Structure 1
Amino acid sequence: MNQSKYPIPLQGIAAAPGLAYGPVKKITTDIQRDVPRSQENNPVEQQARMDTAVRAARKEISNIKSRISVQTNSNDAQIFDAHLSFLNDPVLIKKVSNMIGQGWNAEAAWIDTIDYFEKQLKKLNDPLLQARAMDIVDVGKRVLDHLMDQADSLIISPEQPVVIAADDLSPSSTATLDKDAVLAFCLAGGSATSHASILAKALGIPAVVGLGEQFKQISENDQILINGSTGNVVVNPTPEQVETYHREKDERHQVELTDRSNANLPAVTRDGRQVLVVANIGSAEDAANARRLGADGVGLLRTEFLYLNHDHMPDEESQVLVYQEIADIMGNLPLVVRTMDIGGDKAVPYLGTKDEANPFLGWRAIRMIDERPDILLSQFRSLLRGFANSQLHIMLPMVSSLDELEKALEIYRTARSQLLSEKALMAEEVKFGIMVEVPATAILARQFARHVDFFSIGTNDLTQYTLAVDRTNQRVAHLSSYFHPAVLQLIKMAIDAAHQEGKWVGLCGEMAGDPLAIPLLLGLGLDEFSMTPNSIPQAKRLIRSFDLAQSQEIATTALQYAHTAEVKEYLNGQKH
């Protein structure tokens, strides 16, 4: 474009909220086509090279998936399951091996196979399969980079802060964006539910997508202003537009500074009801960040990172050391630890997980208890020892029956008994709870509440299971919302049932940190809001701006609507 005296307004799709202004950095994520080709090679040697490259790619993808799992408060890491499945696809592997068997070098065999599958997927002209085509190109480039000794070419790391401009971004490139160097990104293609958009929102990077053909003419000499909340983009804005941007940015920044300076104040409504605002964490680094940002404790410590980052079962001592480090950081604040939620989007072969047709309805989390009770026993022992001087709360994920809860409690009692006989130092005043993630648990909440000390509602999975929607599937993602009236009714059922039995309730899904949802959840009687640490200061401010009677009225009204859009429209009108 490079028509600096003529600002060019463009309207795209709001993908991830936030404001940004800066120079354009154009990139291409197309797979490299200029690869060496020869057909007089030793098949054994070329297959060995191929296997090595695939193993390296698989390890990298698993590491990205693990990092996204613990870095974000969501199930967005499951995006990378598709990448891993491609590397295990028998048809793809066979096609590559056949070419190598004919004497082709590994690079040629691999690129020809990737090209073939990409074209087959694109021929179908289906939005979901278009995303799968992007996935296979992403995987193809990663493996090819290893074959050609060009590892890390998928990582985008500019030398100065820029706004990335591209036709599209692969999941791998998006997941590895350096937030200090990438102000935002704008794409000619894509949708609000594309993998790049989902990851941008999870990572807190402003983004606008679907800007169309005109955007492809943008130049690296251009300046660009974007609003990721509205989808508005201005190429080469006027000085007045830039001034307005800076003013809005400064106002937002000032609010953020004020929020952070008040972050250690309690979250008390105007009429005196206090709730806890706690953090979702997955590491000691997260714990330290939570303390800095005013967390009243930890509402969800994900323990999967202990298993995902190893190729073997971590021993008890190594688990204890990790837990002790987190305990030292959090001090006397309450800690809610979720026992490992392996399976679903987090497969760990050495634990016995396998590829399943529908892993989120399969052998995961508490459902592993029958075949591998030793895993839970080891974790209970480690938790009791590692958090010996903490306000420890243990909760079980994916519970759907009282039988599962009773078996887990029996294993927990065994762990305590063993440590007692060993005269080991362990936590004494431990609270035991479950996550409400399955509709069956919400429906039977009163019965469950009689056997536990607390509930924690996991709205990410509760929404998925209630609505039977995979939000990473572009064709149905628009149907997924925790503002759906059915989901809201289940949340209310769980809170009411727990309170009737004198038990408290937390919520640790994305909903807890959503400004639109906070007054609604207050009105429903939620006792604890657990969220990503960066959301805590704002959430505390919002809670302090409402009174209980007001929020109860908001909740009562919201529950009367029959359509998700009506609920959201109403709540938008109640924002402070």
Structure 2
Amino acid sequence: MYDNKKDNMQNKIIQLKGIPAAPGIVIGHAHVFGAEDLTPSEIKIEAENVNAEIEKFKVALIKTKKEITSIENKISVELGVEHGKIFSAHLLVLEDAVLVEEVILRVKKKKRNVEFIFSEVLNSYVKALSEVKDEYLRDRMSDIMDVGKRILRNLMGTTDYRMEELSEKCIVIAYDLAPSDTAMMHKGRVLGFATDIGGRTSHTAIMAKSLEIPAVVGLDNITHLVKNGDLVILDGIHGVVIVNPTKNFIEKYEREKEKYEHLERDLTELRNLKSETIDGKKVILAGNIELPEDVASVIAHGGEGIGLYRTEYFFMNRQDLPSEEEQFNAYKSVAMRTKPNFVIVRTLDLGGDKFLSQLDIPKEMNPFLGWRAIRFCLARPDIFKTQLRAILRASSYGKFKLMYPLISGVEEFRKANVMLEEVKQELRKKNIPFDEKIPVGAMIEVPSAAMTSDILAKEAAFFSIGTNDLIQYTLAVDRVNEKIAYLYEPTHPAIIHMIKMIIDNGHKENIPVGLCGEMAGDISMIIILLGLGLDEFSTSPIAIPEVKKVFRSIKYSDAQKVAENVLSMKTGKEIQEYAYLMLKKLVPAIINDLSSS
């Protein structure tokens, strides 16, 4: 129990809502991190001292490079090479000739101290990025800020308070946490963390999940509302932070924490049990991953394979394209860690809100409707074939399935297969082993593919429904536009009927049909999807135990009746309310767990 009588006499209770980045509930005292003043004074220098200032800058760059290289090596060992590669982008900031030359030219022209000039240049870079609308680009701003602060400290001769030096358990509060800060967290001392900025695609959020440290990001101004030592409740499940909580709040969240941990233990016990209904209907329950290291989480949560390996994340956060050998090693690692279970490897799904900074891709008016995914790959066979070679080579080390994203019709599917066959021929000539019978499937996430799924099913080995985009394209709703978020409706009758059609068309040709969108982890939708005849569910690893609990608590015959009733309903709201009602009736334990957390 926490005694906060003193806190409540002096401080006002504050409740904040942000973005849940990593689940869990923690209660502890705040440590406001990275609040040191790195604003250098402006000092005029004489002409004869300009070279000395420039030399000082070069020395600081070298020292910073050594620091980042050291962190990169440490993280590569402790968290894996892919997480270590995040710092490759940091090193490239140091090698940015434009930035370095701009600082040197300004020192010569303005004759001011180099730390002041560098701070000026850094702020101009950060300001430019902060005005960019693209969420992914804004999230990358933390990389530049992290490197910039390190250079400034080395220029000013100051030392930062390092995360690994924390002596007591605390909840870290920061404007943002750079990847190097997050990576250096001592799991035993950092109970959780909360930041002013950040999104679900930020390195901070990715690493929080990998470290399994509860986190909330995007809180806007928490650093202005919290002082060192303030008592804080952090709810990483719902994205809530409470500062200076009352005794009642503390007791409530201690109960919530205990229930959550109890639920986690209960769900963990399901890990080795089959994903099947009470009346024996077997369902494949797999996990979605971005990086090879994520395989461990899928296994730990009881996944039966990888239903979606998003390979594009291996291409992002770097200034160069990964070589065939790099890709091969990454894919081989996933194959070997997952076998004897399967891995569905999705080829590059770039474009939309995911891009490669190293490619000179023109800005598009409607990127989600533009040059992305399979369209990009077919137009860039140099990149596509390199990836296909790496995937095929890795296929001999496990049970791979290959999947093309954003297929709009059978013609695209055939064109991709022509390139695949060309790559196979190259490997055969070189006597390089690969799985000759690797299944090749299509991701159904475009209405045209859904409407012609009867044709595609004759040529594809399997279907995987990508509901995130299918809903967006079918309902003409931008899923990241908060003004029309209420129109993004997974239960819309058009979506339910489209999913049913895809499943039926797949089954007519005896091919399995899976679903790898967010809907696969939405427990209110599980009974409907199962009743529609879905063969495979693939979701985030952390959602696997809860989904499995639903499967093991119901009869397939009941799910079929639910789906049959849903298909006759006329509105999304009606379907949503009915789905919740049936979940409450058939799996009351799940509803009780949800309502208490």
TM-score range (shorter-chain normalised) is 0.7 to 0.9
Tell me which residue corresponds to 2:406: 398
C-alpha deviation, 1:387, in angstroms: 1.9
C-alpha deviation, 1:339, in angstroms: 1.9
Tell me which residue corresponds to 2:305: 297
Alignment match of 2:265 (pick from 244, 257, 260): 257
The answer as to 2:109 corresponding to 1:102 is: yes
- Letter aligned with residue 302 of structure 1: R
- CA separation in 1, counterparts of 2:320 and 2:483? 37
C-alpha deviation, 1:342, in angstroms: 3.8
Tell me which residue corresponds to 2:32: 26
The answer as to 2:385 corresponding to 1:357 is: no
The answer as to 2:6 corresponding to 1:3 is: yes
- Letter aligned with residue 298 of structure 2: A
Deviates more, 1:402-411 or 1:4-13: 4-13
SS for the counterpart of 2:384 is helix
1:30-429 to 2 correspondences below 5 Å: 32-35=38-41, 37-38=43-44, 41=50, 45=54, 99=106, 102-103=109-110, 104=112, 107-112=115-120, 139-140=144-145, 142-149=147-154, 158-165=166-173, 168-169=175-176, 178=185, 180=187, 181-185=189-193, 205-207=214-216, 216=224, 218-228=226-236, 229=238, 231=240, 233=242, 235-238=244-247, 242-304=250-312, 306-308=314-316, 314-348=322-356, 352-357=359-364, 359-388=367-396, 390-429=398-437
- Count of residues in correspondence between the two structures: 549
- CA separation in 2, counterparts of 1:533 and 1:490? 26
- CA separation in 1, counterparts of 2:305 and 2:374? 25
The answer as to 2:498 corresponding to 1:494 is: no
- Letter aligned with residue 435 of structure 1: M
The answer as to 2:22 corresponding to 1:13 is: no
Deviates more, 1:418-427 or 1:430-439: 418-427
- CA separation in 2, counterparts of 1:464 and 1:531? 18
Q: CA RMSD in A?
A: 5.1
For the 8 Å contact 2:136–2:353, the answer to whether it is kept is no
For the 8 Å contact 1:270–1:547, the answer to whether it is kept is yes
Q: Residues 387 and 31 of structure 1: is their aligned pair in 2 closer, same or farther, counting only changes over 3 Å?
A: farther
Deviates more, 1:566-575 or 1:380-389: 566-575
Deviates more, 1:320-329 or 1:301-310: 301-310
SS for the counterpart of 2:442 is strand
1:464-483 to 2 correspondences below 5 Å: 464-466=472-474, 480=488, 482-483=490-491
- CA separation in 1, counterparts of 2:120 and 2:352? 32
For the 8 Å contact 1:334–1:392, the answer to whether it is kept is yes
Q: Residues 449 and 48 of structure 1: is their aligned pair in 2 closer, same or farther, counting only changes over 3 Å?
A: farther
Q: Residues 161 and 186 of structure 1: is their aligned pair in 2 closer, same or farther, counting only changes over 3 Å?
A: same
- CA separation in 2, counterparts of 1:442 and 1:255? 38
C-alpha deviation, 1:256, in angstroms: 1.6
C-alpha deviation, 1:292, in angstroms: 3.5
Gaps of 5+ in 1: 72-76
- CA separation in 1, counterparts of 2:460 and 2:265? 39
Q: Residues 210 and 313 of structure 1: is their aligned pair in 2 closer, same or farther, counting only changes over 3 Å?
A: closer
- Letter aligned with residue 242 of structure 2: V
Give TM-score, length-normalised by structure 2. Answer: 0.73
- CA separation in 1, counterparts of 2:577 and 2:181? 31
Gaps of 5+ in 2: 585-589, 591-597
For the 8 Å contact 1:15–1:201, the answer to whether it is kept is no
1:126-185, Cα deviation, whole Å (9 max, x unpaired)? 99799999986884564353354389969856444422345x546869976848344344
Q: Residues 260 and 546 of structure 1: is their aligned pair in 2 closer, same or farther, counting only changes over 3 Å?
A: same
SS for the counterpart of 2:6 is coil
- Letter aligned with residue 449 of structure 2: T
Tell me which residue corresponds to 1:459: 467
Q: Residues 378 and 224 of structure 1: is their aligned pair in 2 closer, same or farther, counting only changes over 3 Å?
A: closer
C-alpha deviation, 1:304, in angstroms: 3.4
For the 8 Å contact 1:273–1:548, the answer to whether it is kept is yes
Tell me which residue corresponds to 2:443: 435
Alignment match of 1:551 (pick from 555, 559, 568): 559
- CA separation in 1, counterparts of 2:233 and 2:33? 18
- CA separation in 2, counterparts of 1:29 and 1:472? 32
Deviates more, 1:224-233 or 1:388-397: 224-233
For the 8 Å contact 1:336–1:395, the answer to whether it is kept is yes
C-alpha deviation, 1:394, in angstroms: 0.8
For the 8 Å contact 2:305–2:343, the answer to whether it is kept is yes
Give TM-score, length-normalised by structure 1. Answer: 0.75
SS for the counterpart of 1:304 is helix
SS for the counterpart of 1:267 is coil
Q: Residues 32 and 314 of structure 1: is their aligned pair in 2 closer, same or farther, counting only changes over 3 Å?
A: closer
1:39-58, Cα deviation, whole Å (9 max, x unpaired)? 654699599969979x98xx
Q: Residues 170 and 477 of structure 1: is their aligned pair in 2 closer, same or farther, counting only changes over 3 Å?
A: farther
Q: Residues 404 and 137 of structure 1: is their aligned pair in 2 closer, same or farther, counting only changes over 3 Å?
A: closer
Alignment match of 1:530 (pick from 523, 527, 538): 538
1:236-274, Cα deviation, whole Å (9 max, x unpaired)? 543x75455444323322222232222121110122221
Q: Residues 12 and 287 of structure 1: is their aligned pair in 2 closer, same or farther, counting only changes over 3 Å?
A: closer
1:66-115, Cα deviation, whole Å (9 max, x unpaired)? 999x89xxxxx9xxx9xx99x99x9x999979855633555434544666
C-alpha deviation, 1:37, in angstroms: 4.4
- Letter aligned with residue 535 of structure 1: A
